[in-house]
Chains A and B, each alone.
Chain A
């Protein structure tokens, strides 16, 4: 026994870094939306960084821990409480005593919260991955009421519920509303005025935005030519221009190929920022070079590596 789902949330799934190696069959990678949050949650409790985690939206689930464990919550802040009372902060290592209930009171900030459990939970693998694409009931794990998520191994016993004192600082500045992108192959279809419009406008996430894609509400972007392109690969972060003049950004559950002009691609280092935007919230685009994109990713990686070292040292105190 391990975690029992008392009440499921609106969309709680087990996710990992994605199911890669099958896109030639049209099988999309899926995986966590906020890659950094997944890694932080795992790092905080001494898990391997690629250990599958639980991704939650708001309203989030109520979970009962039937065994002692360590957990960490990262990403969005949904005002987590132990036994409906004790507030717990995100990005902390938390010792949980068997019989404790974890629930979430309100959406303070962010769109997706992640829970990592010491040692991980048993999850259904398909093609070597635990990732759960939305809309495919036969792939992955979506939480249901009364579902049991057994721990993989339980090497932990705790005396009482305890929030450890150290906080991990995320390398992502989630408050920043600038989302960086590199130019796409069809950006030349936009004249200078249109490109300026893309960079100088605020785009709002439409309410239909989900794990597949973010539909943006903003000025109409009119290309020089409306011809479709021959279906070819797209990827996470690809910004497509729809015939209506609206933009759509492909997210974790994106299709593998597409025929709409690709005017840009969100840089990997900014996926987490975008993943934590809610419908109705806005942001601005900023074009950067490929070199800048890679530098930003390396800086993020360095921060996360340092965090790993720090957490390893701290784990000695647990």
Chain B
């Protein structure tokens, strides 16, 4: 990666700082963000409580008193640390191999309340929609919204879909949805406004697991169709 990225830096209140590298979903920019994230994780800085990568931003949550008690400016300090990470070559050679996760999805009507209407609007058949959704390898751009919720993209433009005008009060855990050119899976039952086109029997968030979230930023994801029967048997396992 030889591009030199420039950022805009702004405060998220008195305890976090965001570095923004753009305002559009872009794999190259996100790749860059995640490299910064991993560089930071390998050598965490004192006074930083959290580092949150998103589509085009990386945010550092800091302990303001850690810096203020030492009479150093948190903003200047964190900015200098980020600038250091941005020196070309430190970033270039540390590309992390992305984990590939295959996820079974039941696209049957009982699991996919919005599939038929979406197919109609898009003037394709339900099976074409399923084919389009499950033939792409998606990238997890970021986690957010709920523990283990992964924002994945991009979906084929033939099936991209606006959010529902009035969100559902209850979306079942494992529901697979589309919003714009993103796709995602609800890790737990929650309210939600994404159009639901399927459901996975896999558990996306498990507090007893060593790795509590099945999907993490930077992962590659492939969906493959399973029948309602397989879904039920999966759940019973």
Contact = CB atoms under 8 A, between A and B. Distances in A.
Interface of A: 20-29, 126-127, 136, 138-139, 181-182, 184-185, 229-238, 255-258, 262, 265-268, 290, 293-294, 297-298, 301
A16 to B, nearest CB: 13
A233 B52 contact: yes
Contacts of A24: 37, 50-53, 143, 216-217
B163 to A, nearest CB: 9
Interface string B208-224: 10001100110000000
A255 B146 contact: yes
Given A235-B13, A256-B144, A293-B14, 19 more contacts: A20-B50, A23-B61, A25-B216, A26-B143, A27-B147, A138-B207, A138-B208, A230-B24, A232-B20, A232-B55, A232-B59, A235-B12, A256-B143, A266-B13, A268-B13, A290-B75, A297-B14, A297-B65, A301-B69
Interface in B187-237: 188, 207-208, 212-213, 216-217
Contacts of A139: 207
Contacts of A255: 144-146
A231 B21 CA distance: 13
A268 B68 CA distance: 14
Contact of A235 (B25, B56, B61, B149): B61
Nearest to B204: A26
Contacts of B50: 20-24, 29
- A234, A236, A257, A267: most-surrounded residue (chain B CB, <10 A): A257
B18 interface: yes
A231 B144 contact: yes
Interface residues of B, number: 46
Contacts of B69: 301
A290 B24 CA distance: 28
B40 to A, nearest CB: 10
B143 A25 contact: yes
B64 interface: yes
A88 to B, nearest CB: 31
Nearest to B213: A25
B144 A238 contact: no
B49 A230 contact: no
11 contacts: A24-B51, A24-B216, A26-B213, A138-B208, A232-B18, A232-B55, A233-B54, A233-B57, A238-B12, A265-B11, A297-B68
A256 B52 contact: yes
B105 interface: no
Contacts of A268: 13-15, 64
Contacts of B216: 24-25
Contacts of A181: 13
